[in-house]
Chains A and B, each alone.
Chain A
Amino acid sequence: MSEQPVKTVIETKDLRMVYRVGKVDVPALRGVDLEVKEGEFVAIMGPSGCGKSTLLHILGGLLKPTSGRVIIDGEDITQLSDAQRTEVRRRKIGFVFQRFNLFPTLTAEGNLRLAERIHSNGYKQSGDPEKRKQVLRLLRLENKMHHKPLELSGGEQQRVAIARAVITNPAIILADEPTGNLDSENSQIVLDMLQELNRQMNQTIVMITHNPEAAAVAQRIVQMRDGHIVRG
């Protein structure tokens, strides 16, 4: 019996992005071709200004590229309207940010419930309590469900942010410097969690990082420079 070929969940073709700053065109991406397979954990590294964050924002549908194609789980999002890209993001993408970006007025569980509500387009008010417990347990946050972000450590906040990203079973997790605001101990915990999600749930993860130690947990490292992929 032959093995099923692994699906490509992210594919970019000759992706270019030019920002207009005043009267000057500033190229951020100069033709990026990238493929990420389902269940792959990819780290993108490179110096500041090399286009990593722009690439991540385009993959998440937050930005529309100047040219090129981006195919997310079979859908070419460059051909979609803003509302349609939002819909793809809602169904298929989970974001994890350097600054955690949790809602400070909501508890850990409240942040997860909000993500579930958005995922159901507002139809499911209460989400799935069992799933929330399961995810919070996986991220060792079961005792922090009713804590607000300011009552949690940086590491705990980032774990809640990861829980929020995975609670809706997205095809892809896009992590933008997830350990950038954490000390080494908490960084390691967060990286272990991401690795666990990748292994246990076959979660596809694309992570931007400056930190070679963080990148080392990924299965593949992509190096970027001046808007190009130079390795990986």
Chain B
Amino acid sequence: MDNLVVANIKQRKTRTAISILGVAIGVVLILVTVGLARGMLKERAEREANVGAEIMFSRGGSFSSLSTKNLLTDVRYADIIKTIEGVEAVTPVGQYISSGATGIGFEMVDGIDFDSYSAISKLRIVSGHALTNDSEVIIDAIYAKDRNKSPGDTVEVLGQQFRVAGIYAPESLGRVKMTLSKMQQLLVAPNKCFAIYVKCKNPEEQEAVAARIRDRLPDNFIGFTRDIPGLYAEASVPALDVFLNAVVAVAVVISAMVILLAMYTTITERTREIGILKSLGASKGFIIGIIEREALLISVLGIISGFIFSLVARAIITRVTTLRFIEFEPKWILIASSLGLLAGFLGAFYPAIRAANQDPVKALSYE
């Protein structure tokens, strides 16, 4: 243990542990928050793409399923769209987003017309039976496993008790589906839906079919399900970018402050040692180098701990909440690591400069 940097880190265990924790918290904050945001978007995009339709139609000028606003599109548009050339089938879908049962994450509930929806999405019942009346819901396998529910059990949705009719697959849109008529009744929106999904006879002609729908029903949103991943990309959610940037900034500040306080305390405690270094002829650069290397080594340990804590956090979150996807993308791992090192460097810089500028005679007589 002849290396001064390693020796100091080992010697001051509590300070080292707290500093590592400070950097780790910053890394966890970045990875888990970004992972949650990106994961939720990706999960939703995948489940929306599973509906099996090529075109989405909704009232108004843009696609916005990230809100909890009420059903706005008249279901009677479905009858008109059905008559347009190239359209094979249509299904109106209602959607309502409420907060998750644990208070973390959110839960999406669909209102569907079972026959038309299952025809388009290839939805099949793997256990129990199909939706037959307004007092029933169908759920997917993950919801069933999370809540330990089986066909015949009751679940609370939108403040009401429903009987689980069956478990469906594959996953698409929300994990719980009720009849559209029941959702309309609960949301006091008769004859309304969130969007109408359109399946084309020939998927390759979806642009032409969309153009025909636009001609017939102008001033509405008409989008393609193939574009959904892009619609959910970060760039299409500007507020999310701002939020993530704020989280990153807070993480860097927390980590840098912890390192600053730890290193500041350390150099005060080690004033005499700094005097000894000076008496041995250590330059200011050498002293700054020692303190910065110590901070960077702590940062590296903090980053590694942060990764481990993030994996643990992901395991816990996916276990106790409805959130399924927390993605740790390589890009964000790199960003979190770089910011952890930057925080260590910046946090130690002032204490290092202060140490390097100490009066050697005063430092040597420090008690």
- Binding partners A and B: yes
How far apart are the CA atoms of A209 and B277 in the complex, in Å? Answer: 23
Among B247-279, those with CB < 8 Å from A are 272-273, 275-279
Q: List chain B residues, Cβ under 8 A from A102.
A: 276
A122 at the interface (CB under 8 A from B): yes
Q: List chain B residues, Cβ under 8 A from A63.
A: 361
A155 CB, nearest partner CB in chain B, Å: 19
Please tell me if the beta carbons of B1 and A86 are within 8 angstroms of each other in the complex.
no
Please tell me if the beta carbons of B8 and A105 are within 8 angstroms of each other in the complex.
yes
A114 at the interface (CB under 8 A from B): yes
How far apart are the CA atoms of A101 and B10 in the complex, in Å? Answer: 20
Among B207-232, those with CB < 8 Å from A are none
A residues with a Cβ closer than 8 A to B are: 57, 60, 62-63, 83, 86-87, 89-91, 93, 95, 97, 101-107, 109-110, 113-115, 118-119, 121-122, 164
How far apart are the CA atoms of A163 and B281 in the complex, in Å? Answer: 16
B103 CB, nearest partner CB in chain A, Å: 48
Please tell me if the beta carbons of B283 and A87 are within 8 angstroms of each other in the complex.
yes
Encode B1-38 as 1/0 by CB contact (under 8 A) with A. 11110011011000000000000000000000000000
Please tell me if the beta carbons of B2 and A86 are within 8 angstroms of each other in the complex.
no
Q: List chain A residues, Cβ under 8 A from B278.
A: 62, 86
B290 CB, nearest partner CB in chain A, Å: 9
B76 CB, nearest partner CB in chain A, Å: 80
Q: List chain B residues, Cβ under 8 A from A114.
A: 2, 4, 280
Q: List chain B residues, Cβ under 8 A from A83.
A: 283-284
Complex partner residue of B364 from A101, A106, A109, A113, CB under 8 angstroms: A101
Q: Quick one: closest B residue to A53, CB to CB? A: B361
Please tell me if the beta carbons of A103 and B4 are within 8 angstroms of each other in the complex.
yes
Q: List chain A residues, Cβ under 8 A from B280.
A: 89-90, 95, 114-115, 118-119, 164
Q: List 28 A-B contacts (CB under 8 A).
A: A60-B279, A62-B360, A62-B364, A63-B361, A86-B281, A86-B284, A87-B281, A89-B281, A90-B281, A97-B279, A101-B364, A102-B276, A103-B4, A105-B4, A105-B7, A105-B11, A106-B4, A107-B2, A110-B1, A110-B3, A115-B280, A118-B280, A118-B282, A118-B286, A119-B281, A121-B283, A121-B286, A122-B286
How far apart are the CA atoms of A109 and B8 in the complex, in Å? Answer: 16
Besides the known contacts A86-B282, A87-B281, 17 further A-B residue pairs in the complex with CB atoms under 8 A apart: A62-B364, A87-B283, A89-B281, A90-B280, A93-B281, A95-B280, A97-B279, A103-B273, A104-B11, A106-B7, A110-B4, A113-B2, A114-B280, A118-B277, A118-B286, A119-B280, A122-B289
How far apart are the CA atoms of A222 and B206 in the complex, in Å? Answer: 103
A61 CB, nearest partner CB in chain B, Å: 9
Q: Quick one: closest A residue to B8, CB to CB? A: A105
How far apart are the CA atoms of A93 and B282 in the complex, in Å? Answer: 12
Please tell me if the beta carbons of A101 and B276 are within 8 angstroms of each other in the complex.
yes
Please tell me if the beta carbons of A62 and B279 are within 8 angstroms of each other in the complex.
yes
Q: Quick one: closest B residue to A94, CB to CB? A: B280
Q: List chain A residues, Cβ under 8 A from B281.
A: 86-87, 89-91, 93, 118-119
B299 CB, nearest partner CB in chain A, Å: 20
Complex partner residue of B1 from A57, A90, A97, A105, CB under 8 angstroms: A105
How far apart are the CA atoms of A4 and B72 in the complex, in Å? Answer: 106
Q: In the complex, which of the residues B8, B280, B360, B364 has the most CB atoms of chain A within 10 Å of its own CB atom?
A: B280
How far apart are the CA atoms of A106 and B11 in the complex, in Å? Answer: 10
A189 CB, nearest partner CB in chain B, Å: 23
Q: List chain B residues, Cβ under 8 A from A90.
A: 280-283
How far apart are the CA atoms of A101 and B364 in the complex, in Å? Answer: 8
How far apart are the CA atoms of A121 and B279 in the complex, in Å? Answer: 14
Across the A-B interface, give the 5 residue pairs with the lowest CB-CB distance, nearest first: A90-B281, A110-B2, A105-B7, A89-B281, A105-B11
Please tell me if the beta carbons of B2 and A109 are within 8 angstroms of each other in the complex.
yes
How far apart are the CA atoms of A156 and B275 in the complex, in Å? Answer: 22
A113 CB, nearest partner CB in chain B, Å: 5
Q: List chain B residues, Cβ under 8 A from A110.
A: 1-4, 7
Q: Quick one: closest A residue to B10, CB to CB? A: A105
B297 CB, nearest partner CB in chain A, Å: 14
How far apart are the CA atoms of A54 and B10 in the complex, in Å? Answer: 36
B196 CB, nearest partner CB in chain A, Å: 71
Q: Quick one: closest B residue to A170, CB to CB? A: B281
How far apart are the CA atoms of A102 and B10 in the complex, in Å? Answer: 17
Q: Quick one: closest A residue to B277, CB to CB? A: A118
Q: List chain A residues, Cβ under 8 A from B2.
A: 106-107, 109-110, 113-114
How far apart are the CA atoms of A155 and B280 in the complex, in Å? Answer: 21
Please tell me if the beta carbons of B276 and A103 are within 8 angstroms of each other in the complex.
yes
How far apart are the CA atoms of A102 and B1 in the complex, in Å? Answer: 15
Q: In the complex, which of the residues B1, B2, B10, B289 has the most CB atoms of chain A within 10 Å of its own CB atom?
A: B2
How far apart are the CA atoms of A105 and B2 in the complex, in Å? Answer: 8
A41 CB, nearest partner CB in chain B, Å: 21
Q: List chain A residues, Cβ under 8 A from B3.
A: 110
Contacts A63-B361, A110-B1 given; does A101 touch B279 at CB 8 Å:
yes
How far apart are the CA atoms of A103 and B10 in the complex, in Å? Answer: 14
